[in-house]
Amino acid sequence: MRYIFLSLIIIFYSNILKAVEFKGKFEQGSFIIGKAQKGSKVEIDNRKIRLTKDGYFVFGLDRDRKNNVLIKIYENGNIKIIEKKILKRDYKIQKIDGLPKKQVTPPPEVYERIKKDNILIGKARSINTSYDYFKDQFIKPIDKYIITGVYGSQRILNGKPRRPHYGVDFHAPEGTPVKAMMDGEVTLAKNDMYFTGGTIIFDHGHGVSTLYMHMKDVNVRVGQKITQGDIVGTLGQSGRATGPHLDIRLNWFEVKLDPASILNLD
Ligand SMILES: [Zn+2]
């Protein structure tokens, strides 16, 4: 009898250990870290994703995600299926007037340039490395700022509805030093992209990347390893910007996430 009791405890306990844990809200735009048993395999919406040696994995939810997310965990020959509802968010409407006309509707002669920029950005965002920096707490890129733009807001530029804003805008004086939010590797460093101006993309592993735009100076190069807190350049207003600010982005591959979901913003 005692033996049975003991084994029940063991079974119960090992089930707790095997439970999948998540950090992050199941909400539109959210960044979510999961932990499964070592050596498991994980699929998110039937897409195979990478696990760290300790069983950590990461994924993100689109701004307009409506359907439930399907998480399949294969461990020890068993499949665990977890289905989670996604909380919907209300996004702001942001009107910006007085932008130069060519910045709202680019002239045809720059289409090729924009296309090239987008290909470079897309390539950098599709990188899938085994770095596991994404697991740690990100820090803010600058210390003193005013938030002037938030994720998800619908933009109306000079009265014309445009793509939603996917970044968080930190307003601060031009030339303010900008820090890396997390360890990583630089996968794109450009001084002069059409929309984004001085642009840096950092890879933090497993498809997680962050992007800085409108930089005045870009002081890193592609392939460079970065430590959290390193100064990577200065804040500017290059590209399509109405004033000096740092616009930061967070991506899980092609999915654009809310940078506020990884930062403690005041
Ligand atoms: Zn912005």
Q: Residue 216 Cα, ligand 1 centroid: separation in angstroms?
A: 15
**pLDDT tens profile 24-44:** 999 999 999 999 999 999 999
Q: Residue 105 Cα, ligand 1 centroid: separation in angstroms?
A: 17
> Could you tell me the CA-to-CA distances from 100 to 7, 103, 165, 245 in Å, in that order?
73, 6, 18, 18
Q: Which protein residues have their CB within 5 A of the ion that is ligand 1?
A: 149, 167, 169, 247
Q: How many CA atoms lie within 13 A of 251 on its CB side?
A: 20
Q: Residue 200 Cα, ligand 1 centroid: separation in angstroms?
A: 14
Q: Residue 74 Cα, ligand 1 centroid: separation in angstroms?
A: 40
In the chain, helix, strand, coil percent, each to 5?
A: 15, 40, 45
Element holding 114 (H helix, E strand): helix 111-125
What's the pTM value of the predicted model, to 2 decimals? 0.89
**pLDDT tens profile 57-84:** 999 999 999 999 999 999 988 999 999 9
Q: Residue 167 Cα, ligand 1 centroid: separation in angstroms?
A: 5
Q: Residue 58 Cα, ligand 1 centroid: separation in angstroms?
A: 25
Which of the 8 DSSP states describes residue 68? P
Q: Residue 168 Cα, ligand 1 centroid: separation in angstroms?
A: 6
Tens-binned pLDDT, residue by residue, of the chain (266 aa): 555 555 555 544 444 445 789 999 999 999 999 999 999 999 999 999 999 999 999 999 999 999 999 999 999 889 999 999 999 999 989 788 888 776 677 888 899 999 999 999 999 999 999 999 999 999 999 999 999 999 999 988 888 888 899 999 999 999 999 999 999 999 999 999 999 999 999 999 999 999 999 999 999 999 999 999 999 999 999 998 889 999 999 999 999 999 999 998 86
- What is the DSSP pairing of strand 41-44 with strand 69-75? antiparallel
Q: Residue 6 Cα, ligand 1 centroid: separation in angstroms?
A: 58
Q: Which residues of 58-79 are buried (b: 16+ CB within 10 A; e: fewer)?
A: bbbbebebeeebebbbebeeee
